[in-house]
């Protein structure tokens, strides 16, 4: 049974705990979610060849910010790799700091990033033009206005600073069956995209695009909360509009399930997504359905479809793309 907090957000829904702020973020913040985020961090690192930071930042930068830092896994990695940089992580929910050793150059702030940046008088930790590097990863379920979000990060950046966003685009692609013609070898490898084709529409993987019922249902529930499951491929153009330059786009195949042609790291990620998808998407669909007043029977059909999709030892054999987009605030002239 859902309990409603004073903000109207559900603090507990079907046994899972959620943040109680007015922010849009739709996923839980309990121990189970912390474990998922920790595992996801490790697997993403494998998927990206051990690389977290893609922007060409120098080791002498003074400060960095990880927005929506979750358990602090990425924040801690950045602070360890850049020991002379003061690194902050901000999140709606408290960061479980007991998971790692404390670092002298790392600090956490609890709050809604969008609200804190707009605060008047300004919070001294979020002064305009004060950061050398701003990073965020997997905020699709939390950001309702991506242009405003990118504009805010650009406003916080110093001239010459880099901004890096790592976000999914939840358009789905179905891997060919063993009996189908083989996919071109580059289909399942990471690649750079030009600014003229940030969606990769000319890439051979486009031929495998699919739109299962449950993803349509989830998409419409997210849209009813002004959330955009396809944000990853749009960020480059938001960065361009925000006045950033040197924009670089790289995307990584993120499988659900396992099939021939995947690297061991991609297969490990695929096993993880396959296992977590039904237990993550089902409850989220029910919660969003309740909050948006969606027809309950239809939502249940979506939940059943998602459970069907990810059943079986090798799961759904689909993939989506995770985009890494870096942009630079023009240096002062
Ligand atoms: C899917 S988790 C990803 C966590 C982390 N970035 C990572 O990759 O491991 C998204 C996180 O963003 C936080 N979040 C969402 N909206 C936010 C906002 N407006 N301000 C601060 N944090 C936010 C959530 O609380 C959650 O911890």
Q: What pLDDT, in 10s, does the model give residues 46-91?
A: 999 999 999 999 999 999 999 999 999 999 999 999 999 999 999 9
The model's pLDDT over 116-165, given as tens digits with 9 standing for 90+, comes to 999 999 999 999 999 999 999 999 999 999 999 999 999 999 999 999 99
Ligand 1 centroid – CA 206 distance (Å): 29
State the Rg of the chain over Cα.
Answer: 20
Q: Name which residue leads in pLDDT, 323 or 10.
A: 323
3-328 adopts what CATH topology? Rossmann fold (3.40.50)
Mutate to test the pocket of ligand 1, among 142, 153, 167 (most ligand atoms within 8 A of CB): 142
Nearest CA to ligand 1 atom 19: 112
The model's pLDDT over 208-244, given as tens digits with 9 standing for 90+, comes to 999 999 999 999 999 999 999 999 999 999 999 999 9
37 lines ligand 1 (CB under 6 A): yes
Res 313: pLDDT = 62
Ligand 1 centroid – CA 159 distance (Å): 26
291 lines ligand 1 (CB under 6 A): no
- Residue 45: Cβ within 10 Å count: 16
Calculated CA dihedral for residues 209, 215, 216, 218, nearest 10 degrees: -150
Nearest CA to ligand 1 atom 13: 68
Mutate to test the pocket of ligand 1, among 47, 67, 70, 269 (most ligand atoms within 8 A of CB): 70
Nearest CA to ligand 1 atom 12: 68
The model's pLDDT over 93-108, given as tens digits with 9 standing for 90+, comes to 999 999 999 999 999 9
Ligand 1 centroid – CA 203 distance (Å): 30
Provide the token pair at 157: 């950046």
Nearest to 263 by CA among 156, 185, 163, 179: 185
Q: Where on the phi/psi map is residue 180: left (φ > 0), alpha (ψ -120 to 50), or beta?
A: beta
Domain ranges in the chain? 3-328
92 lines ligand 1 (CB under 6 A): yes
Reply yes or no on whether the pLDDT at 35 is more than 90.
yes
Which ligand 1 atom sits nearest the alpha carbon of residue 115?
A: 19
Residue pair 136/307 in contact (Cβ under 8 Å)? The answer is no
- Residue 124: Cβ within 10 Å count: 7
Res 6: pLDDT = 40
Reply yes or no on whether the pLDDT at 3 is more than 80.
no
112 lines ligand 1 (CB under 6 A): yes
Res 16: pLDDT = 87
25 lines ligand 1 (CB under 6 A): yes
The model's pLDDT over 261-316, given as tens digits with 9 standing for 90+, comes to 899 999 999 999 988 888 888 989 999 999 999 999 999 999 999 999 988 665 78
Which ligand 1 atom sits nearest the alpha carbon of residue 66?
A: 6
74 lines ligand 1 (CB under 6 A): yes
Res 333: pLDDT = 81
Nearest CA to ligand 1 atom 27: 70
Res 321: pLDDT = 97
Ligand 1 centroid – CA 139 distance (Å): 6
Nearest CA to ligand 1 atom 2: 70
Residue pair 193/206 in contact (Cβ under 8 Å)? The answer is no
Query: CA-to-CA distance for 309 and 285, rounded, in angstroms?
Result: 15
Task: Label residue 10 by pLDDT band (50, 70, 90).
Answer: low
Contacting residues for 37 by C-beta, under 8 A, at least 6 apart: 70, 71, 73
Res 185: pLDDT = 85
């Amino acid at each position: 049974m859902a309990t409603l907090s004073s903000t109207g957000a559900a603090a507990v829904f079907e046994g899972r705990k959620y943040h109680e702020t007015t922010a849009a973020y739709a996923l839980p913040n309990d121990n189970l979610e912390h474990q998922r985020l920790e595992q996801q961090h490790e697997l993403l690192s494998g998927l990206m060849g051990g690389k977290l930071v893609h922007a060409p930042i120098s080791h002498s930068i003074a400060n960095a910010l990880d927005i929506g830092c979750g358990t602090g896994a990425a924040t801690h990695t950045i602070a360890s790799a850049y020991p002379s940089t003061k690194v902050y992580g901000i999140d709606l929910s408290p960061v479980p700091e007991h998971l790692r050793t404390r670092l002298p150059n790392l600090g956490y702030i609890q709050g809604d990033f969008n609200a804190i940046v707009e605060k008047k008088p300004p919070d001294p930790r979020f002064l305009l033009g004060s950061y050398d590097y701003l990073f965020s990863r997997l905020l699709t379920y939390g950001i309702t206005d991506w242009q405003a979000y990118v504009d805010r990060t650009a406003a916080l950046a110093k001239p010459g600073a880099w901004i890096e966003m790592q976000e999914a685009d939840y358009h789905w692609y179905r891997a060919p069956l063993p009996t189908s013609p083989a996919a071109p070898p580059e289909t399942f490898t990471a690649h750079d995209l030009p600014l003229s084709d940030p969606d990769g529409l000319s890439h051979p993987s486009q031929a495998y695009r699919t739109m299962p019922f449950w993803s349509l249902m989830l998409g419409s529930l997210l849209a009813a909360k002004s959330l955009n499951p396809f944000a990853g491929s749009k960020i480059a153009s938001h960065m361009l509009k925000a006045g950033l330059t040197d924009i670089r786009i790289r995307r990584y195949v993120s499988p659900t399930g396992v099939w021939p042609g995947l690297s061991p790291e991609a297969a490990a990620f695929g096993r993880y997504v396959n296992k977590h998808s039904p237990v993550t998407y089902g409850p989220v669909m029910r919660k969003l359905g309740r909050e948006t007043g969606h027809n309950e029977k239809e939502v249940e059909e979506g939940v059943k479809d998602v459970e069907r999709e990810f059943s079986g030892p090798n799961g759904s054999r689909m993939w989506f793309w995770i985009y890494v987009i870096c942009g630079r605030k023009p240096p002062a002239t």
